Amino acid sequence: MKISRFCPAKINLFLEVTNKLPNGYHELATLFAKINLGDTLTVSASQAPQTNILLQLTGPVGKLIEADENNLVCRAARAFLDHFHLTADIHLHLDKHTPTGAGLGGGSSDAAGTLLALCEIFDKNKEELLPVATKLGADVPLFMYEDTFLKGEGIGEKLTPIPVKGPLPYIVLIYPNTVVPTKGVFSRLVLPSKQSILTNISNLDKLIEYMRCTAPLSVWKDLLFNRLEDCVVPFTNSVRNVLLDLREINTDAVLMSGSGSTVFALVETEKDAKNLIQKIQNKERTVVLTTFYRSSTNENNGNKDTSYGRGSS
């Protein structure tokens, strides 16, 4: 049996770090949003006397990573088989477009896509795999849900779907072709005061309520927040330059996603988004115009699909 899935990337519209646990993980208060940039995963699988997992990588990002057993999709396939005590021949074809080390959750989405495809092939309940997903990575459970917007707590595994109906702004992603290792980002983090955390959690609740009520971007853009910017921007010239350029253009709904390095700008109209791309792109950046993701179970927000841009300086 063969299953193909789109594995969407994500951005964080809000990210506060609320605590550091003894095991080194950090607890968060965040608002995840899936987007229409992503990878296409095709999974073929059948039961067999012995397990054999084969991964084929294609796409512009696929040639940059290793197709070995340490790849997260291979680890997800093996974790699935171990959990259900199965042996199988599994072939994974990943057409990869989401950059790595970019704060977009591409690897986590691919891992979740693997688990979901295997659930469909072997007729298993995906709810049973949420603990397995968490062990694979803190962001993997996010992509086990069909919802576009989810509030994340704990290490990101405590998820609450947020129903948001359109219209929604367009998204301009600026990836400065720089990998930012997550471990180094958190090593520079200084936890905020309790009062600051409480204030920001209140702001997150306001942001969620505005989006639930379909308030326009102008109402909630000032609530966009990412604590980790302070751990990346002063240390990463390429990210800092993107933010400086956007501010020079007077684009104000701007934020770094996750632990970086991607920066995104939210724009009301497609025309304004394309104008922004013309101003911001250069040969050192990959610039993408995209929209918020809607699965087949969610209503469409009327926006168009992803398009890529790459200019010269």
Residues with catalytic roles: 10, 139
Judge contact between 178 and 233, C-beta under 8 A.
Answer: no
Is residue 23 exposed (0-12), middle (13-18) or buried (19+ Cβ within 10 Å)? exposed
CA–CA separation, 265 and 246 (whole Å): 8
Is residue 90 exposed (0-12), middle (13-18) or buried (19+ Cβ within 10 Å)? buried
DSSP letters, 139-176, are TGGGGGS--SEEEEETTTTEEEE----S---EEEEEE-
Contacts 24+ apart (CB under 8 A), 83-86: 83/128, 83/129, 83/132, 84/122, 84/124, 86/47, 86/122
